[in-house]
Amino acid sequence: MRIVVALGGNALLRRGEPLTSENQLANIRRAAGQLARIVEGNEVVLTHGNGPQVGLLALQAAEQATGEGFPLDVLGAQTDGMIGYLLEQELSNVLPSHVVATLLTRVQVDPSDPAFTSPTKPIGPVYTAADAERIGLQHGWAMAPDGKGVRRVVASPTPQRVLGLQPIQWLLSHGTLVIAAGGGGIPVAAMGDGRALQGVEAVIDKDLCSSLLARQLEADCLVIATDVDAVYLDFGEPNQRALRQMDLGALAQMRFPAGSMGPKVEAARSFVATTGRRAVIGSLDHIEAMVQGRAGTEVVAAARSERSA
């Protein structure tokens, strides 16, 4: 099969962990060991998040004496190189007979997307309310609740087109495990006469971009690997229940939190609605079983035997 795997931030940094190189490397080694289980006999494209990393780089730049830093598109490219290198190295260590390649991937967005005036994408560290208020005022950043803390939020426009598909397809056809569209891709938009592209101040949602990439690559399956074993109704409540299969009709009646599971479910829905193929959401630790249809929440076009547990 041709599989696109969207690797959640838990593979790079678990909630509450300090953003250190040691922690990232330990988590990436764990991720590489799990991903190795699905590579043999399949064509695999791996995407990943970068929210904590790009936010930390922006914070470090803002705290320089000059107060001048690079824009988010450039910082996103920097994180793609860093994370891609770590993933590539660890995957090569566990898959010595496979070629692994990392590509910086531009993704086109609409410069008039309303997301530019309504930032929602959390990046960077989690702060207390008091620290968030101080830092937000200091740098002129928008801040919003994230779990029990507060994080900076930035524009997250809808991805329209993944650029550079040809090299991805060529590498896949030559047996390469490809790491691409890291952090949702590097956001660019057509300005002026509509022909010239330039970077924009935004961070694209990794799951929505992965869904678009999977559609453009005509993938057989989209896997969204996160830190929970399934999609839950009433998550965190005493009556929470895991959904083992969702069809498009059932999904139309459900709502999920915009800051966490919502984009993942929407990414899966878009892929299935467009292609008629399957998507699955679940834990990275169960990725082999997810691909085989034995774990996670499977999203399908039409119900076969909807179950919950």
- The HSE-up count of residue 290 (CA atoms within 13 Å, CB side) is 31
Catalytic residue among 51, 121, 282, 296: 121
Establish whether 148 is a catalytic residue.
no
User: From the candidates 49, 76, 184, 206, which is the catalytic residue?
Assistant: 206
Asked if residues 214 and 206 have their Cβ atoms less than 8 Å apart, the reply is: no
> One of 8, 184, 264, 296 is an active-site residue; which one?
264
**How far apart are the two ends of the chain, measured CA to CA in Å?**
28
Amino acid letter, 277: R
Q: Cα separation of 247 and 304, whole Å? A: 8
Q: Which of 8, 10, 49, 296 is catalytic?
A: 10
Joined together, the tokens standing for residue 75 give: 């910082």
**Alpha-carbon distance values, 61 to 64, 70, 162, 164 (Å):** 5, 7, 28, 29
Element (H, E) at 5: strand 2-7
Strand 221-226 and strand 278-283: pairing? parallel
Q: Is 239 exposed, middle or buried (0-12, 13-18, 19+ CB in 10 A)?
A: exposed
Catalytic residue from among 9, 76, 84, 184:
9
The residue count of the chain comes to: 309
CB 87 within 8 A of CB 48: yes
Question: How far is residue 5's CA from residue 8's CA, in Å, rounded to a whole number?
Answer: 9
Query: Of 126, 266, 257, which is closest to residue 205 (Cα–Cα)?
Result: 266
- Which residues are designated catalytic? 9-10, 121, 206, 264
